[in-house]
Structure 1
């Protein structure tokens, strides 16, 4: 199955050095320019990824590609949290066809 990602607005969610859920949420806030009212929990992240009104304005009409990089250390230190994060990403992608979340393999630089 292939998907045309041409033209999508790309956001890098760099998790290098993140060791807990709070750190992941902080990085998500910065990378996705989430609003002040963002709840910094899994449900809020799922809702934000699935809500066009919260997406960066550059993604409007283009779709959004979130590239998660530097995630390996977090996955190793917090495997259950990482599993939840992946479930959140998968749920958001199913709910929003114009969203793609890709896990980058290798370093964050």
Structure 2
């Protein structure tokens, strides 16, 4: 593990069984315990992932390593949605130094 990831809170985002955008948004909201006002759209996802104040408290203090698992079926079934999801995850990580997103190879 590189030094810049040391100490971050590692949170698995399990997308097993996710079949559409709504399911993805629900999985992220549940995993990160996002506030009720989370809008469940691409812009809201980007804003939430880019804002450590809405992450779990421990992650807001230490940084967050979000490890995405179970994503291949969703990516295969909804390639355009998955492309947008990857773009959002990438942009959020680029915007927010304490956020790293990793796709688990399965």
Q: What TM-score, normalized by structure 2, do the two folds share?
A: 0.95
- Give the 5 Å matches for 1:1-109: 4-106=4-106
Q: Which runs of 5+ in 1 are unaligned?
A: none
Q: How far 1:11 sits from its partner (Å)? A: 1.1
Q: How far 1:55 sits from its partner (Å)? A: 0.9
CA distance in 1, matches of 2:87, 2:60: 24
CA distance in 1, matches of 2:47, 2:22: 17
SS of the equivalent of 1:101 reads strand
SS of the equivalent of 1:88 reads helix
Two-structure CA RMSD over aligned residues (Å)? 1.0
Q: How far 1:3 sits from its partner (Å)? A: 5.5
Q: Would you identify which runs of 4 or more consecutive aligned residues in structure 1 move more than 3 Å?
A: none
2-11 vs 45-54, which moves further: 2-11
CA distance in 2, matches of 1:54, 1:77: 30
Task: Give the structure with the larger helix fraction.
Answer: 2
CA distance in 1, matches of 2:85, 2:78: 10
Q: What TM-score, normalized by structure 1, do the two folds share?
A: 0.93
